[in-house]
Amino acid sequence: MSHYQCDVLIIGSGAAGLTLALQLADHAQVTVLSKGPLTEGSTYYAQGGIAAVFDENDSIESHVEDTLVAGAGLCDLAAVEFTTGHAKESLQWLIDIGVGFDRVDDGQFHLNQEGGHSHRRILHAADATGRAVQTTLVEQTKLHPNITIIERVNAVDLITNKHLGGDRHCYGAYIWNRVTQQVETVAARFVALCTGGASKVYQYTSNPDVASGDGIAMAWRAGCRVANMEFNQFHPTCLFHPNAQSFLLTEALRGEGAYLRRPDGSRFMPDFHPAAELAPRDVVARAIDYEMKRLGADCMFLDISHKPKAFIQEHFPNIYDKCLSLGIDISREPMPVVPAAHYTCGGVKTDLQARTDIANLYAIGEVAYTGLHGANRMASNSLLECLVFARSAAKDIIEQLHDKPLRTDLPAWDESQVNDSDEEVIIQHNWHELRLFMWDYVGIVRTDKRLQRALRRIELLQQEIHDYYSNFKVSNNLLELRNLVQVAELIVRSAMERKESRGLHYNLDHPDLLPEAQPTILAPAQQKPS
């Protein structure tokens, strides 16, 4: 029998998961799983803001066009129009529940402009928008009696027809409780994956530790298609400092006039793109990578010191304080920066209601491929996607809620054949090896040979990890490693299928664009239950 029962199980507690929970809570019993504390996720660390048309000189058509251009010909037009068309109402909902976006003296919202946007349309809360959104969502969910939050649990696998027979349905999930160190079951009428992306597959990332591709890997094992996994966005500007790994320097810095400079102080972005520092992220990341390799430099520099100190402290207080704590006064000197893996543009294939290939299973946010981002995500469209598709999924679930039976006869987790591990060093070694060769071989610039080398190493690691998983009790590191190596395989196989360079995927052996842009879609073969 199941340990937990609910109408809707939401795996993940960021903007997508908590928005879905709040939209459903008046109609259903909702359980939200959080791998760590509620504030530990990519949403909390998002700095820049959320894109929506609030300026009378702007238009939804312009937002659509900018998104399509940034997506390098691979965006799904219906998904772009759907998202931008529902942007303002989604932001208004956040405002109504208490998110305090910055305003100017006349009470209007202060709108930033970021790379790829032709207008100022970024609502923000100083330079800590994600924190404002996440803390407000957490406060609201804790107040609602129909929402149960379980922290410090890892989702292990989805429970589907593979376990119970019959049609392609999802009935719940196995979860590993870090407190009890036991695998438990959750039965649910509907399951939503809101687990974020997979940037932890790379050695250098702006993401928190929880971004290990869990939802993508679980959906793939359950039988869902994935799409566009080769498009990994590398944020151009992460702070290069030994005591501040993963600290992001928001795109809004460049939107407010910051320059990218070589170590000698000269600017280089005008050499690469007419929009210079406001070029799309893939262009800026490749330019920094190119200049670092050309000069043999450890980093480039982001400089906003030509702006008044009061302006910097008002618009970027958290970045100013963080850098100052590390001995960098950004009002007087530039910030050392390097690119880092930031956003997974592909994911589990879904429709406009966030439905996957498996009945009762939804995927929302960075875990999903909706078609919005194409070959490159435009700045500040990510939290927007979470909000829009969570609201859309909620409507779809509410319409079906009373038609779906709750199955509680879920098979118990069998660990009768496994032992406690005495070789944790194997997990650590494989973990570091995977992330390092993904960075070296499947990073900002790729070649066919690098991809082939990466795939060979992935296949060896998969066998080792499978043997380990089959013989020892699960742990957080083992579960994440199992998921990361699966996601790594999907990234590499997708990259090998794309015989061109487009957006975030740049292959020296295929530098040109193909005449027709098509998404890369991978479909799993029928697999036995693990």
**428 and 462 inside one domain:** yes
**226 and 364 inside one domain:** yes
The pLDDT assigned to 529 comes to: 36
The pLDDT assigned to 427 comes to: 84
**Strands 368-369 and 347-349: what pairing?**
parallel
The answer as to whether 271 is a domain residue is yes
**130 and 267 inside one domain:** no
Q: Which pair of structure tokens corresponds to residue 191?
A: 């399951």
- Please report which confidence band the pLDDT of residue 527 belongs to, taking 50, 70 and 90 as the band edges: very low
pLDDT for residue 351 is more than 80: yes
More confident residue, 300 or 419: 300
Name the helix (H) or strand (E) containing 448: helix 448-471
The pLDDT assigned to 37 comes to: 87
The pLDDT assigned to 166 comes to: 60
Active-site residue flag, 168: no
Residue 8 β-bridge partners:
30, 190
Each residue of 136-160: pLDDT tens digit? 999 999 999 999 999 999 999 999 9
Each residue of 84-109: pLDDT tens digit? 999 999 999 999 999 999 999 888 99
The answer as to whether 523 is a domain residue is no
* Count of beta carbons in the 10 Å neighbourhood of residue 528: 5
The answer as to whether 303 is a domain residue is yes
Choose one of 342, 365, 384: the last residue of a domain: 342
What value does the mean pLDDT take over residues 66-71?
95
The answer as to whether 334 is a domain residue is yes
The pLDDT assigned to 420 comes to: 66
Name the helix (H) or strand (E) containing 66: helix 60-70
pLDDT for residue 342 is more than 70: yes
**88 and 197 inside one domain:** yes
Q: Which are the contacts of 291, defined by CB distance < 8 A and separation ≥ 6?
A: 262, 268, 297, 300
The pLDDT assigned to 416 comes to: 62
Give φ, ψ of 335 to 5 degrees: -100, 130
- Please report which confidence band the pLDDT of residue 203 belongs to, taking 50, 70 and 90 as the band edges: confident
Are 247 and 239 in contact by the 8 Å Cβ rule? The answer is: yes
> Cα(494)–Cα(503) distance, rounded to whole angstroms?
14
> Cα(459)–Cα(450) distance, rounded to whole angstroms?
14
What value does the mean pLDDT take over residues 241-266?
91
Please give the distance of CA 386 from its chain centroid, rounded to a whole number. 10
What value does the mean pLDDT take over residues 41-59?
90
Q: Which of 218, 156, 148 is nearest to 183 (CA)?
A: 156
**21 and 71 inside one domain:** yes
DSSP E strands in 40-79: the ranges are 50-51
Q: Which pair of structure tokens corresponds to residue 417?
A: 């054949």
CATH of the domain at 279: 3.90.700.10
> Cα(25)–Cα(11) distance, rounded to whole angstroms?
15
The pLDDT assigned to 119 comes to: 94
Long-range contacts of 498-502 (CB under 8 A, 24+ apart): 498/230, 502/72, 502/73, 502/74, 502/375
More confident residue, 54 or 280: 54
Q: Which pair of structure tokens corresponds to residue 98?
A: 């208490």
User: Count of domains in the chain?
Assistant: 3
Give φ, ψ of 392 to 5 degrees: -70, -45
CATH of the domain at 139: 3.50.50.60
The answer as to whether 412 is a domain residue is no
Choose one of 289, 319, 342: the last residue of a domain: 342
The pLDDT assigned to 44 comes to: 86
Each residue of 208-229: pLDDT tens digit? 888 999 999 999 999 999 999 9
**378 and 465 inside one domain:** no
The answer as to whether 244 is a domain residue is yes
**316 and 353 inside one domain:** no
The pLDDT assigned to 144 comes to: 97
The pLDDT assigned to 516 comes to: 94
Site of tokens 């543009």: 345
Confidence (pTM): 0.90
Domain boundaries, position 335? 236-342
CATH of the domain at 489: 1.20.58.100
**391 and 273 inside one domain:** no
**350 and 493 inside one domain:** no
Each residue of 392-442: pLDDT tens digit? 999 999 999 988 889 988 988 877 666 666 667 788 889 899 999 998 899
pLDDT for residue 34 is more than 90: yes
Are 205 and 325 in contact by the 8 Å Cβ rule? The answer is: no
Residues of the chain above pLDDT 90, percent: 75
Query: Which listed residue (261, 281, 446, 450) is catalytic?
Result: 281
**129 and 242 inside one domain:** no
Residue 338 β-bridge partners:
238
**95 and 113 inside one domain:** yes
Within 472-501, where are the H helices? 476-497
The answer as to whether 117 is a domain residue is yes
Q: What is the DSSP letter of 401?
A: G
What value does the mean pLDDT take over residues 172-199?
94
**283 and 382 inside one domain:** no
pLDDT for residue 528 is more than 60: no
The answer as to whether 25 is a domain residue is yes
Give φ, ψ of 387 to 5 degrees: -65, -50
